[in-house]
Amino acid sequence: MALGLLAACDGKVDAVRYRLTVMVQTPEGVRTGSGVIETGVQKLAVGTGFEGIDFPLKGEAVAVDLPDSRVLVALLAGAQNPYAGTKDYFRDVFANAMRHGAASTPPLPRQFGGWETAEAHAALRGIRPRLTLPVEDYPLLVTFGDPADPRTVRRVAPDDFTSAFGPGYALRSITLTVTDEPVSRVLVKRLPWVPEANKRVNADAGLGAGDFQPLFTAD
């Protein structure tokens, strides 16, 4: 049983921020995109004698600009289970990566227990570790036939960038680094349609049925 859940019910959020960095090999060299995402634990008073827990998420998907005006986007959902929801993915991502064999630099203490403890967040903020995500913990990756048209979205397989972009393209790495930098808010400059994309778009791309916009940005 995890220890150290927030004791207060006053809406306070115990949060940690990650810089998610995506590196792509292209025929013109390595291209990189990154952004800062915040995930937290918030204990709420739901009713008399009962407390609920929320996991607020702030941030946005990470875009990597590629040659020929193309773009790769790492969404706010896990590739293994995009239907689980954005909060679930980032709530668990650091601890899951370690369970799947990723090593943090510098190493975390042995008592690091995962997303659900205030102690875990304190350890992450104090040490500010970095790790490379295992493939099991990759975010969902997509591209667009036309970046100006969200209906042209297509899923990208992490091990087959050639099918999406052509010869000479490959995913180099996806890393997480704990940081205290501000949460990123720049995606709309690259994809201006994001604020209006709160609808089902191109379910054939394998993104699931339901709201499209929360895959790109969270308040």
Tens digit of each residue's pLDDT (9 = 90 or more) over 170-207: 999 999 999 999 999 999 999 998 887 755 455 555 55
Residue 64 · residue 22 · CB < 8 Å = yes
List of residues 6+ apart from 104 with CB closer than 8 A: 98, 127, 129, 130, 131
Other beta carbons less than 10 A from residue 166's beta carbon: 13
* 3-state SS assignment for residue 101: coil
pLDDT digits (tens, 9 = 90+) for 133-147: 999 999 999 999 999
pLDDT digits (tens, 9 = 90+) for 84-122: 556 678 887 888 898 888 988 998 776 555 555 667 778
For 198, list phi and psi in degrees, rounded to 5: -80, 70
- Give the model's pLDDT for residue 2: 35
pLDDT averaged over every residue in the chain: 83
DSSP label at residue 199: S
- Give the model's pLDDT for residue 4: 36
Residue 157 · residue 50 · CB < 8 Å = no
1 falls in which pLDDT band (50, 70, 90)?
A: very low
- Give the model's pLDDT for residue 200: 44
- Give the model's pLDDT for residue 121: 79
pTM of the prediction? 0.85
* Domain residue extents for the chain: 10-218
- Give the model's pLDDT for residue 56: 86
- Give the model's pLDDT for residue 95: 83
pLDDT digits (tens, 9 = 90+) for 17-37: 999 999 999 999 999 999 999
Return the higher-pLDDT residue of 3 and 36.
36
